[in-house]
């Protein structure tokens, strides 16, 4: 999967390639979920009662709480564009 925005800058940049898979999810992991018709790749800030609070590294704002079933996976490998 290719990164298409600066929401996770400086950890991820447009053109970086990520491999998403399964694994134990922990605070600080970069997770992938689907919002409408696009994928969002953001960092896990808080996990509580089966809900996940995520945020893009370069954003000042938190995402909405996301249910565990909405999480598609976590970033396992990053291949930088340059």
Stated pTM of the model: 0.94
Q: Residues 22-60: pLDDT tens digits?
A: 999 999 999 999 998 999 999 999 999 999 999 999 999
* Domain-wise residue ranges, the chain: 17-79
Give the CATH H-level superfamily of domain 17-79.
Answer: Umud Fragment, subunit A (2.10.109.10)
Strand partners, 67: 51
Contact by Cβ (8 Å): 56, 43? yes
Mean predicted lDDT score pLDDT of the chain = 95
Confidence of residue 9 (pLDDT cuts 50, 70, 90): very high
DSSP annotation string for 17-71: EEEEE-----TT-EEEEEETTEEEEEEEEEEETTEEEEE-TT-SSPPPEEEGGGE
Paired tokens of 49: 């009662």
């Amino acid at each position: 999967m290719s990164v298409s925005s600066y929401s996770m800058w400086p950890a991820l940049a447009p053109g970086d390639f990520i491999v998403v898979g399964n694994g134990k999810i922990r605070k600080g992991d970069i997770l992938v979920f689907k919002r409408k018709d696009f994928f969002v790749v953001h960092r896990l800030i808080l996990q509580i009662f089966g809900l996940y609070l995520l945020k893009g590294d370069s954003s000042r704002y938190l995402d909405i709480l996301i249910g565990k079933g909405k999480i598609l996976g976590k970033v396992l490998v990053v291949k930088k564009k340059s």
